[in-house]
Chain A
Amino acid sequence: MPAVVLALLQVIHPINLFLVTLGVGAGIVVGALPGLTATMAIALLVPFTFGMNVVHALVLLGGMYCGAIYGGSYSAILINTPGTPAAIATTFDGFTLAKKGHAYRAIVVATIASVVGGLIGVFFLLFLSPPLARASLRFGPPEFFWLTVFGLTIIATISPKSTVKGLIGGAVGLLIGTIGIAPIEGTIRFSFGTLALQNGISLIPALIGLFCLPEILDMIASRNEEHSAIPYRSQRHMLRRVWRLMRRKPWLLIRSGLIGTGIGIIPGAGANIAGMVSYNEAVRVSSEPEKFGKGNLDGITASEASNNAGVAGSLVPLLTLGIPGAPPAAVLLGALLLKGFRPGAELFTVHATVTYTFMFSLIVANLVLLPLGLMLGKGASKVVAGLPVSLLAPLVFFLSVIGAFAIQNNIADVYVMFALGLVGYAGRKLGFQPGPIVLGLILGVMCEQGLVQSILIGRAAGMPVAIFFTRPISLVLIGLTLFSAGWPMISRMRRRAAAPSHDSDSTISSGGSHA
């Protein structure tokens, strides 16, 4: 019997179905807690899979990966804090909706988008892995440099109120990213002699601090026992209503899925960036860019479809070449090696049944996500809505502390979280949003690495500057960067030429459909 058929039979075996469901469920819970990332979820689970056979282990871990990336959207929507870095772009529109009582609606959108995006990613993983993986190797240091520069142009999109302040935020993020050990010469930078800063500012504590603490403080300052901070309003047939809206924009879903898959495949880029890039493109293509950031369902769709597509994307180079596309995939690689499996051609020949079972199980994982996600999402939004501020604020702070600590078991990270939280609060009062700062922090490390590696390679080849401008993929990325940076001007001109249309399908104005 061919491996594919065997794999199909395996994947519908009750024990595998159970393990996928368990993995997805546990992943959602872990991913939803701020600070507990998909990487950590998988790393915590690996010891428990030690005695399992390889299929069971992979099926469970794969489900966990999908669930955790999706679960990050809950805290993004409900408390304005991405549960995993992949969900940053989900906060932009998701939390606004939650404050108006539409948290569940936002979660339904996130769920559908995640399912569709995830399935798109698996499609490419199943059918196009080898050529895509080989193509991903074309991404060298110069391409990485330009990819991150392109990524920085997103700042303009996510800070509509003041581009200057957005860019300043980004620069501050980049500068924070340089604290600690330099990538090339090993110099310790901006540590002020303290041990804690020598290790640099880790992304997760910074993320929690910048997003979460200001939210807690605002919640406290403007608390009102009559209303919940995050009210819950229910609607009948939410799934059908939302799907009817989303169905009208198939290209948004497909495009976001493609972007997520593509960025996921590039080793080292990962889901963190995928959501942001996809959000950026959604804003750019939209006929009403001004509605993003104010509770536009399209923003959530773009972010979530893309980051879940990135899950399967990051497995493409892992399974074909043994190179993980993202940190969670690196832990999966460890699990594979532990089982005595060497990624590469063997996985598709000798062990084809195992490999295909794993891939099929990702399809199942994405399908299971729909009912499980809706159920857990409804529960989560009801719980958050039911808590008075006097309980919710301390609880969220407690979770922030535990999340910041758990990422490296390092108490200094809790202090960093708090300090950056105060910075974030002051910044917010002055009109600086956390998004650009965190984007700078994420991209800065990659950007510098790409820059100095390119210089070293370029110098050796006798073309230290030319290396940045002569490679085909680099040129495409430069083009994209210029286009993206110049877009605000182009769109302004376009808008002046054409009168604005009024079509508020997917935006919920306050006073909308309450039930």
Chain B
Amino acid sequence: MRNDRLTALVLIAVSIFALLESNRYGPLSRLFPRVVAVALGVLSLVLLVQGIVRARPGYRPKSVGLPSASGAEPSVTGSAGDTRGMLFSLLVMVAWTLLLEPVGFWAASVLAFSTLVLILRTPGKTVVWKNILGGAILVTMFVLVFRIALRVPLPEGLLW
């Protein structure tokens, strides 16, 4: 619930910013963003009020909401999940994205793919070199199909 209140405040700030920013636009260019910004502001306010009401002691939710089906069930496996592994992987993905252009699509992808395989391996279970090799083959295959058959000009960078 505290998260909800924070989110609401951030979104209210966004909508105020959008309102102010849209002042600079022509009459027909600002109409729609304004309507949307106002709607966003009002809805966020509702969320804020909801959050405050529900945060009060003694509030009992009317219905027990089931966790939404698609997606967030982070602790299905019982453990709290591997947050550290996820953060490391995220860093690799950021590097991957940023290196695509300077290093080249293929090289950056093979490199980052292999690093991710290393991070995500289960010691004693994963045959790391097999996965890295498999990854490299998959990446190369896709890059070739895109470059040659589909003629998509993937960035070549320094190392192809």
- The number of residues on chain B lying at the interface, defined by a beta carbon within 8 Å of a beta carbon of chain A, is 75
The verdict on A96 contacting B97 (CB below 8 Å), with A394-B113, A455-B28 known, is no
Query: In the complex, which of the residues A44, A167, A184, A395 contacts B29, with contact meaning CB atoms closer than 8 Å?
Result: A184
Query: A503 in the interface, Cβ–Cβ < 8 Å?
Result: no
Secondary structure of the B side of the interface?
Answer: helix
Asked whether B31 is an interface residue with its Cβ less than 8 Å from the other chain, the reply is yes
A contact face: mostly helix, strand, loop, or mixed:
helix
Chain A residues whose C-beta falls within 8 Å of the C-beta of B97 in the assembled complex:
401, 414-415, 418
A contact residues around B125 at 8 Å (CB): 225
Tell me whether B82 and A221 are in contact (CB under 8 A): yes
Minimum Cβ distance to chain B for residue A333 (Å)? 22
B70 close to A174 (CB less than 8 A): no
| Given A185-B28, A402-B142: A175 touches B93 (CB 8 Å cut-off) | no
**B109's closest neighbor in chain A, by CB?**
A398
B50 contacts A164, CB within 8 Å?
yes
- What chain B residues lie within 8 Å of A452 (beta carbons)? 28, 31-32
| CB < 8 Å neighbour of A160 from B68, B75, B81, B120 | B68
A-B contact count (CB 8 A): 197
Assess whether A224 is interfacial by the CB under 8 Å rule.
yes
Number of interface residues of A (CB under 8 A): 69
Listed residue (A44, A175, A415) with the most chain B CB atoms within 10 angstroms of its CB: A175
B94 on the interface (CB 8 Å rule)?
yes
> Chain B residue with minimal CB distance to A415?
B97
Question: In the complex, what distance in Å separates the CA atom of A406 from the CA atom of B150?
Answer: 10
Please tell me if the beta carbons of A171 and B43 are within 8 angstroms of each other in the complex. yes
Q: Once the chains bind, are B29 and A187 in contact (CB under 8 Å)? A: yes
In the assembled complex, which residues on chain A have CB atoms less than 8 Å from the CB atom of B69?
92-93, 96, 293-295
Contact A394 B153 (CB under 8 A): no
Is B154's beta carbon under 8 Å from chain A?
yes
Proximity bits, A277-295, B CB within 8 Å = 1, else 0: 0000000000000000111
Contact in complex: A428, B72 (CB < 8 Å): yes
**Could you tell me if A187 and B25 are in contact, using CB atoms closer than 8 angstroms?**
yes
Whether A391 contacts B100 by the Cβ 8 Å rule is no
How far apart sit A451 and B138, CA to CA, in the bound complex (Å)? 47
Whether A222 contacts B71 in the complex (CB less than 8 A), given A189-B33, A390-B116, comes out as: no
A189-B25, A391-B135 given; A409·B153 CB < 8 A: yes
Docked complex Cα distance between A111 and B119 (Å): 37
Residues from chain B with a CB closer than 8 A to the CB of A431 are 4, 68, 72
Contact flags A161-182 to B (C-beta < 8 A → 1, else 0): 1101101100110110010001
Contact (Cβ within 8 A) B131 A388: yes
Which of B40, B72, B119 has most chain A Cβ within 10 Å? B72
Q: Mark A450-472, 1 if CB is under 8 A from B, else 0.
A: 01100110000000000000000
- With both chains docked as a complex, state the minimum distance between the C-beta of B148 and any C-beta of chain A, in angstroms: 12
* B83 contact set on A, CB distance < 8 A: 221
In the A-B complex, the 3 residue pairs with the smallest Cβ-Cβ separation, listed nearest first, are A390-B120, A182-B29, A187-B29
